[in-house]
Amino acid sequence: MLKDITIGQYIARDSIIHALDARIKIMITTILIIALFTIDTFTGFGFFAAFVLVVVLLSKISVKKVLKGLKPILILVLFTLFIHIFLTKGGEVLWSWRFISIESEGVYTGFFMVSRIFILILFTSLLTLTTSPLQLTDGIEYILSPLKRFGVPASELSMMMTIALRFIPTLLEEADKIMKAQQARGADFESGNLIQRAKSLIPLLVPLFISAFRRADDLALAMESRCYRGGEGRTRLHELEFRYYDFIALIIIIILAVAVSFY
Amino acid sequence: MSLIEISGVDFLYGNDNSDRPALQNINLQIEAGDFAVIIGSNGSGKSTLAKLLNVLLTPSQGEIFVAGLDTTNPDNTWKIRQRVGMVFQNPDNQLVASMVEDDVAFGPENLGIPTQEIRNRVDKALEMVGMAGFQKFAPHKLSGGQKQRVAIAGVIAMEPDCIVLDEPTAMLDPQGRKEVMETVQYLNKEKGITVVHITHFMEEAVNADQVIVMNQGQILHKGSPKSIFRLVEQLKDVNLDIPVAVEVAEYLRQENIDIPDILSIDELVDALC
């Protein structure tokens, strides 16, 4: 079961959205998030929602899969909604019982906030759905690289992320193996209350950490013997390349964002 | 001058309290194009010797020259590491990237090779180790033997003169071991790359040009496989497993049966039948 885990939520498709440069996608997402916070009408949200729908259709990822990604935040959304409905006062009283009342202002703000959160999460999850973790890492490195001048180790950070991604499956496999080995010797990971179960993880975590450190040691040696000496002077097999449609996409988004904000 | 020249080398680990150095008075030459096999049991110092060859360690005493470059001179470190590639024992712990081609590209990227050239080298290296077509695979989806061959490709892509393999087959199943050995032999015989192969499987020394037997930090013997395999009793004393055919031949010889030097089962069969 541990073996089949997918890292991130990337879904590979052959679409124009996938083909966009990772850096452009990160920039676009940032611009749209800022634009989203300048909006104060439902019409604006409607417009944004329609835009998201178009992007989803262009990405060839099924709407169902995109919506599935929203599940984990459902509780947060409902919580926000209820808090606003019951606690934000103002406008007409729609319904009241003893000291509890629902007023129109609360309902309005509640739905307003919920729409904003939904669109926000949709945008960001579209970024991770259509960009592979590797491209994202490269994109982040590029965007951070102007900060190198101020001592931000951008390429080292991206190397760290690459290695982390590489070792997630290896360490999961290892955890699985240790778990089975401990179970064979009578360890119990499944029963008991929360505290007991947390405690039973210690014999799993200790060997896992020890072996992770050992791996790190080996890997450092292997990297050194392959001439790794930090990001300085490195070239790339996959050079990120801007193509004309990357700029077209960026221009379209900027125009849209400006239009929406002033509307 | 030989590709690798080791003269009078001692090595003592800094945190080691014992009096015995990990290596003592090592003298060794490895010629360009050679297939050298270093055998020895655990703790014989063979891995330490490997690390000295690509400047992961520097000798406490004596000197090592690789292609005329002194390993104790810090200016030479990266040049030597480019010339002497190293493959380690654990296939999982030496692959850096989550895609085969990115991993093979890691060395050339560090050397600052232009993008197009990296692409050529990666494809060529993967083809040389018989892993063409695996460019987009994730390392954890490969078998041990395949991972190890990717690691070899990663070294080949740096275009070294010499590859040092530190027990590359120790963690593999027989199938993986065979794949790796065939690859290494191909690279040596067809591509002329010098190979220093470190192992505790004596069978892997059969095709070597030079075999070096290590024990307790010293070189016990060096010579051709045949001359080494003659020393059955001495090899047993240092806890090395003798291939069955060699051992049988030795017993027959002790019974005064005339038998030539034997390296493999096939040769034994030929000699007997």
- CB atoms A218 and B82 under 8 Å: no
Q: With a cut of 60, say whether residue A197 has pLDDT above it.
A: yes
- What pLDDT shows up at residue B180? 94
Q: With a cut of 50, say whether residue A4 has pLDDT above it.
A: no
CA B195 and chain centroid, separation: 6
Name the amino acid, one letter, at B223. G
Residue B17's pLDDT band, with cuts at 50, 70 and 90, is: low
Are B162 and B84 in contact by the 8 Å Cβ rule? The answer is yes
Flag the least confident range among A7-11, A223-227, B229-233. A7-11
- CB atoms A166 and B95 under 8 Å: yes
The domains of chain B, with CATH numbers, are: 32-52+77-225 (3.40.50.300)
- CB atoms B106 and A228 under 8 Å: yes
Mean pLDDT over all residues of chain B?
89
CA B248 and chain centroid, separation: 27
Token pair of B207, please? 């095709």
DSSP letter string, B17-55: -SSS-SEEEEEEEE-TT-EEEEEE-TTSSHHHHHHHHTT
For testing contact with chain A, the best of B110, B115, B116 (most A CBs within 10 A): B110
- What pLDDT shows up at residue A194? 84
- CB atoms B115 and A236 under 8 Å: yes
Measured between CB atoms, does A238 come within 8 Å of chain B? yes
pLDDT tens-digit series, residues A216-233 = 999 999 999 999 988 778
Least Cα separation, residue A205 to chain B (angstroms): 19
Q: Percentage of residues in chain B with pLDDT exceeding 70?
A: 98
Are A155 and A33 in contact by the 8 Å Cβ rule? The answer is no
Mean pLDDT of the A102-109 span: 84
CA dihedral A57, A244, A161, A172 (to 10 degrees): 40
CA A241 and chain centroid, separation: 23
CA-CA distance, A83 to A106, in Å (whole number)?
A: 9
- CB atoms B107 and A222 under 8 Å: no
CB pairs under 8 A between A and B: 94
CA-to-CA dists, residue A199 to A157, A204, B73, angstroms:
33, 10, 52
Q: Percentage of residues in chain A with pLDDT exceeding 70?
A: 96
- CB atoms B56 and A238 under 8 Å: no
CA-to-CA dists, residue B145 to A79, A231, B140, B148, B157, angstroms:
53, 30, 12, 5, 18
CA-CA distance, B194 to B203, in Å (whole number)?
A: 19
For testing contact with chain B, the best of A237, A238, A241 (most B CBs within 10 A): A237
Contacts of B119 in chain A (CB under 8 A): 237
Q: Which residue has the higher pLDDT, A93 or A79?
A: A79
- What pLDDT shows up at residue A70? 80
Mean pLDDT of the A6-24 span: 79
Token pair of B150, please? 């990717």
Mean pLDDT over all residues of chain A?
85
Token pair of B256, please? 């005064």
- As a whole number of Å, the CA-based R_g of chain B is 19
Which chain B residue has its CA at the smallest distance from A132's CA?
B98
In what helix (H) or strand (E) does residue A69 lie, and over which residues does it extend?
A: none
For A195, other C-beta atoms within 10 Å of its C-beta total 8
- What pLDDT shows up at residue B16? 61
Question: What ipTM is given for this predicted complex?
Answer: 0.87
Residue from the list B54, B93, B102 with its beta carbon closest to the beta carbon of A225: B54
CA-CA distance, B211 to B221, in Å (whole number)?
A: 8
Mean pLDDT of the A50-61 span: 89
CA-to-CA dists, residue B144 to B91, B131, B148, B151, angstroms:
6, 13, 6, 11
- What pLDDT shows up at residue A132? 82
Question: For chain B, what's the residue count?
Answer: 273
CA-CA distance, B126 to B135, in Å (whole number)?
A: 8
Residue B245's pLDDT band, with cuts at 50, 70 and 90, is: confident
Three-class SS of residue B54?
Answer: coil
Mean pLDDT of the B244-266 span: 82
Residue from the list A133, A225, A237 with its beta carbon closest to the beta carbon of B86: A225
- What pLDDT shows up at residue B100? 92
Mean pLDDT of the B246-257 span: 84
Name the amino acid, one letter, at B259. I
For testing contact with chain A, the best of B52, B80, B89, B93 (most A CBs within 10 A): B93
Mean pLDDT of the B35-47 span: 90
Q: With a cut of 70, say whether residue A1 has pLDDT above it.
A: no
Q: Percentage of residues in chain A with pLDDT exceeding 90?
A: 13
CA-CA distance, B209 to B46, in Å (whole number)?
A: 18
Contacts of B154 in chain A (CB under 8 A): 226
pTM (2 d.p.): 0.81
Residue from the list B56, B99, B118 with its beta carbon closest to the beta carbon of A134: B99
- What pLDDT shows up at residue B157? 95
Q: List residues of chain B with CB under 8 Å from any CB of chain A.
A: 54, 56, 78, 81-82, 85-86, 88, 90, 92-99, 101-102, 105-115, 118-119, 122, 138-140, 154-155, 158
Token pair of B140, please? 């954890």
Residue from the list A169, A227, A237 with its beta carbon closest to the beta carbon of B102: A237
Residue A3's pLDDT band, with cuts at 50, 70 and 90, is: very low
Token pair of B135, please? 């460019």
Three state DSSP letters for B175-231: HHHHHHHHHHHHHHHHHCCEEEEEECCHHHHCCCCEEEEEECCEEEEEECHHHHHCC
Q: With a cut of 50, say whether residue B115 has pLDDT above it.
A: yes
Contacts of B152 (CB under 8 A, 6+ apart): B87, B129, B163, B165, B168, B180, B183, B184, B187
Lookup result for tokens 């954890």: B140
Contacts of B149 (CB under 8 A, 6+ apart): B129, B130, B131, B179, B180, B183
For A258, other C-beta atoms within 10 Å of its C-beta total 13
A73: Cα within 13 Å, side-chain hemisphere: 19
CA-to-CA dists, residue B127 to B114, B143, B156, B157, B169, angstroms:
20, 17, 11, 11, 20
- What pLDDT shows up at residue A200? 84
- What pLDDT shows up at residue B182? 93
Name the amino acid, one letter, at A81. L
- What pLDDT shows up at residue A8? 59
